[in-house]
Amino acid sequence: MPQPRSVIIGTGSCIPSLEVPNQAFADHTFFEDHGRPYPAGDTARIVAKFQEITDIAERRYAPADLVASDLAFEAGKQALAAAGIDPETLDYLIVAHNFGDVRAGSRSPDQVPTLAARVKARLRIANPFCVAYDLPFGCPGWLQAVIQADYFLRSGEAKRALVIGAETLSRVSDPCDRDSLIYADGAGAVVLEAQDHAEPVGILAHAVRSDTLDHSDLLHMGPSFDPAAEGRDLFIKMKGRKLYEYAIATVPGLVRRSLEKAGLTLADVDKVLIHQANGKMDEAILKRLFRLYGIAEIPAGVMPMTVSWLGNSSVATVPTLLDLVVKGKLEGQTLSRGDVVVFASVGAGMHINSVVYRWT
């Protein structure tokens, strides 16, 4: 018996044009978290060590005249064009982000009206029943928005949804904090459609967890590490080692839970598209996931990566990665009908989510 399935019919992304290599930080003065500067001449060592432990060699920043909603608009426009649908037929337009529109030279978040409302207006969608709202959920926000859209579509309440993740982390990171080298800007989007299929395709299952009791402060906002910094601006801060340990310990188990809900095992999976936070961390997560299933050899190319040249753009990493794979822009990476894809993300909250998807 055919039943509604949530199927991706279009993807898009906006990769900012401003390339920022690690060498751009050569003249930075970095401070420890208690306000003491690292010794003069230490910057080169810090930058080299950073690349060694994250795989990040460069990242992208948004030009000064663009904000997150501009990036979201471009990614959404691309996804709609790829889907080949009339934007007026959308029932939902969801934008995942964390900081709203932060203008160049400012630390103030602008979230009124919602970014989704701004994107809907830019797309010239007149349909008043296309509901536009934002979702702040840390780095897993885009995937959580996909999960929400899946509920709407499978319930019969909606037919189509545009789900976007957009962020400009470069504007909320502390230039005096070594962790600022991780952050990047960007946007990615998908159009989801409810389609009747007798076979299990599209979104098969998902799993989510929130560990707030002991882990909510692993990513937080705090003052600059520079004790001479003026004003009361807050910047994104993270407890890197503890976050790494938390992700390694918990993400593989949640991915396994989502696969079990789908009635599948890791042997059925063709691609793992994971949040591009830290290359070495993602590799460790993948190794532990395969270990859970007693699989010693990880198939080549199962986990495409972009973090080395795009950095960590939070909610934008997974949909951008998907768009690049779908459009053949990552060497050796493709998706074919019937392929099983696992999407996974971890971030501030701490939140983790995983979605199992069969490509159509």
Helix (H) or strand (E) holding 248, with range, is: helix 240-261
pLDDT tens digit sequence for 162-200? 999 999 999 999 999 999 999 999 999 999 999 999 999
- Which residues sit opposite 193 in a β-bridge? 7, 160
Q: What is the mean pLDDT of residues 25-34?
A: 86
- Same fold: 3-197 with 202-358: yes
pLDDT at 41 over 80: no
pLDDT at 59: 97
- Residue 275 is a catalytic residue: yes
Q: Tell me: cis bond preceding 350? Omega within 30 of 0 counts.
A: yes
What is the predicted pLDDT for the residue at 140? Answer: 98
pLDDT of residue 308: 97
- Could you report the per-residue pLDDT of 258-287, keeping only the tens digit for each? 999 999 999 999 999 999 999 999 999 999
What is 283-313 written as a DSSP string?
A: HHHHHHHHHHTT--SPPTTSS---HHHH-B-
Q: Answer yes or no: is pLDDT of 21 > 80.
A: yes
Please answer whether residues 278 and 151 qualify as being in contact, where contact means their C-beta atoms are separated by less than 8 angstroms: no
pLDDT exceeding 90 applies to what percent of the chain?
89
98 included as an active-site residue: no
Q: What is the pLDDT of residue 193?
A: 98
Q: Count CB-CB contacts under 10 A for residue 135.
A: 22
* N-terminal to C-terminal alpha carbon distance within the chain: 18
pTM comes to: 0.95
| Distance separating alpha carbons of residues 135 and 128, to the nearest angstrom | 20
Domain ranges of the chain: 3-197, 202-358
pLDDT over 70 percentage in the chain = 100
Instruction: Output the furthest CA–CA distance in the chain (Å, rounded).
Output: 69
Residue 33 Cα distances to 37, 212, 228, 238, angstroms = 9, 23, 13, 11
**Chain-centre distance for alpha carbon 331:** 21
CA–CA dist 16, 137 (Å, integer): 23
pLDDT above 90 for 68: yes
Which residue in the list 206, 215, 275, 351 is annotated as catalytic? Answer: 275
Topology of domain 202-358, CATH: Peroxisomal Thiolase; Chain A, domain 1 (3.40.47)
Beta-bridge partner residues of 183: 312
Catalytic pick among 14, 130, 139, 176: 139
Catalytic residue among 98, 278, 312, 353: 312
Confidence of residue 94 (pLDDT cuts 50, 70, 90): very high
Fold topology of 3-197: Peroxisomal Thiolase; Chain A, domain 1 (3.40.47)
Active site residue 22: no
pLDDT at 40 over 80: no
Q: Is the pLDDT confidence value at 35 over 90?
A: no
Residue pair 298/308 in contact (Cβ under 8 Å)? The answer is no
Task: Give the per-residue pLDDT at 43.
Answer: 86
Give φ, ψ of 114 to 5 degrees.
Answer: -60, 155
Tell whether the model's pLDDT for residue 33 goes beyond 90: no
